[in-house]
Amino acid sequence: MRILFVICLLALTNLSYALNLQLTFNETSFGINTSGTFRLTGEMQMNGFGWAGSGWPIGLNDGDGVGITSYDFGTYYRGSNSANLPDNYYFTLQSYDATGTAVRDGLTHQVLTESRALWVQIFDRKPNIKVYVGPTPAATFYNPFASAVVDISGTFGVNSSVNSGQTPASQGITFDNLAGTYNSGEYDPGGSFTITVPEPSTTSLVLLSALPLLFRRRKIS
141-197 pLDDT, tens digit per residue, is: 777 778 999 999 999 999 999 988 899 999 999 999 999 999 999 888 789 999 999
> CA-to-CA distance for 186 and 79, rounded, in angstroms?
7
In the chain, the number of structural domains is 1
Give the domain extent around 204: 15-220
Confidence class for position 61, pLDDT limits 50, 70, 90: very low
pLDDT at 168: 96
> CA-to-CA distance for 195 and 43, rounded, in angstroms?
14
Q: Indicate whether 46 belongs to any domain.
A: yes
Query: Residue 208: what are its φ and ψ, rounded to 5°?
Result: -65, -40
- DSSP class of residue 111 equals B
Q: Indicate whether 68 belongs to any domain.
A: yes
pLDDT at 184: 92
Q: Which of 221, 206, 41, 71 is nearest to 138 (CA)?
A: 71
Confidence class for position 120, pLDDT limits 50, 70, 90: very high
pLDDT at 53: 56
Q: Indicate whether 52 belongs to any domain.
A: yes
Q: Indicate whether 2 belongs to any domain.
A: no
Q: Indicate whether 10 belongs to any domain.
A: no
Q: Indicate whether 181 belongs to any domain.
A: yes
pLDDT at 47: 72
pLDDT at 45: 86
Stronger pLDDT, 16 or 162, i.e. the higher one: 162
Average pLDDT over residues 212-220: 46
Q: Indicate whether 163 belongs to any domain.
A: yes
Q: Is 144 left (phi over 0), alpha (psi -120 to 50) or beta?
A: alpha
Q: Indicate whether 9 belongs to any domain.
A: no
Whole-number average pLDDT of the chain:
81
pLDDT at 10: 40
List alpha helices for the chain, DSSP H: 2-13, 202-220
